[in-house]
Amino acid sequence: MFIFMNNIKLASYAKRTLRVLVFKTNLVSAKDIHRISPLMGDTAGILRWNVDEHDIDNVLRIETSWLLPGDIIRMVTDAGYLCEELPD
């Protein structure tokens, strides 16, 4: 029983390692990126973020240790943009 509990703790701790999350968005222009910039900067848990301005998918790249893809998608969609996770 104890071992089982321990495993659950481990699984939740796994979220604490640095991860890269990537999303396809419609953050097309510098203005769009500027608009989400405060949001990204103020969110605890986002270590680094950038939008690939020179590629067709306008990929939003996030380095985080504990945020989940769903958190980012919610934030960006709430700001009025499209955001979907790029599959592995």
Question: Judged by CB under 8 A, does residue 22 bind other proteins?
Answer: yes
Question: Judged by CB under 8 A, does residue 54 bind other proteins?
Answer: yes
Q: How many angstroms separate the CA atoms of 3 and 7, rounded?
A: 6
CA distance to 7, 8, 14, 15, per residue, from 3 (Å): 6, 9, 17, 19
Question: Judged by CB under 8 A, does residue 53 bind other proteins?
Answer: yes
Closest contact distance (angstroms) between CB of 13 and other proteins is 6
Interface contacts to other proteins, rule CB under 8 A: 6, 9-10, 13-14, 16-20, 22, 50-57, 59, 61, 85-88
